[in-house]
């Protein structure tokens, strides 16, 4: 045990450290160098001038705004199984099911709404979905509205979102 003890030397006892001024000079040199370099060319600072400049580093794993996927014939892939609504820890998915008439499946959602003000963007709904019907691969990171109701995304809006990384159609429901 005693062999593992590392004795850290105590600094600050010699005259140079006690004077403070050499250390202050060193620190000022660093800050002044940064200041002058950035004053000379402020566009070289590695920062995003946000509204004009959009982030370019959004990856496939990024959980953006949700979207509902389509089948091959552009009909909705969702079968209204309520798995996502059950998995949702924020209870922000509201589904009303209705019988599907075109014979492709038994059920489809009449209403499928996500309250994005409640949503915590955990991605559990995507994990839970057996039909690959809901995804978060839109790459959309900002949503703007002027009232609370604007942030409740309905089925039509969710269907209109495009995937940002290909794979437009549902992989599980043809």
**CA terminus-to-terminus distance, the chain:** 65
Q: Is 53 in the site for another protein (CB under 8 A)?
A: yes
Residue-wise DSSP of 84-143: HHHH-TT--EEEEEEE-SSSS-SEEEEEEEEETTT-----HHHHH-TTS-EE--S-----
Q: What is the smallest separation between the CB atom of 20 and another protein, expressed in angstroms?
A: 8
By C-beta, is 31 or 59 nearer to another protein? 31
Residue selected from 1, 7, 8, 39 as contacting another protein according to rule CB under 8 A: 39
Pick the stretch among 29-37, 67-75, 98-106, 129-137 that binds another protein (CB under 8 A): 29-37
Q: Is 22 in the site for another protein (CB under 8 A)?
A: no
32-58 as b/e: b if 16+ CB within 10 A: eeeeeeeeeeeeeeeeeeeeeeeeeeb
Query: Do the beta carbons of residue 68 and residue 76 sit within 8 Å?
Result: yes
Stretch that binds another protein, among 42-50, 57-65, 73-81, 134-142 (CB under 8 A): 42-50
Answer yes or no whether residue 57 interacts with another protein by CB under 8 A.
Answer: no
Q: Out of 6, 9, 11, 46, which residue is the one contacting another protein (CB under 8 A)?
A: 46
The binding site for another protein (CB under 8 A) comprises 21, 24, 27-28, 30-32, 34-35, 38-43, 45-47, 49, 52-53
């Amino acid at each position: 045990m005693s062999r593992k003890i590392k004795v850290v030397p105590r600094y600050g006892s010699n005259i140079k450290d006690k004077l403070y001024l050499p250390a202050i000079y060193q620190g000022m040199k660093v800050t002044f160098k940064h200041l002058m370099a950035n004053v000379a060319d402020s566009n070289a600072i590695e920062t995003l001038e946000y509204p004009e400049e959009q982030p370019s580093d959004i990856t496939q794993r990024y959980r953006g705004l949700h979207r509902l996927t389509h089948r091959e014939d552009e009909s909705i892939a969702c079968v209204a199984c309520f798995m996502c609504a059950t998995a949702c820890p924020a209870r922000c998915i509201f589904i009303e099911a209705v019988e599907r008439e075109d014979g492709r499946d038994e059920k489809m959602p009449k209403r499928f709404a996500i309250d994005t003000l409640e949503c915590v963007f955990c991605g559990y709904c995507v994990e839970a979905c057996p039909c690959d019907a809901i995804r978060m691969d839109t790459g959309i990171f900002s949503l703007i509205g002027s009232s609370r109701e604007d942030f409740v995304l309905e089925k039509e809006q969710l269907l209109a979102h495009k995937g940002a990384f290909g794979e437009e159609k549902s992989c599980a429901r043809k």
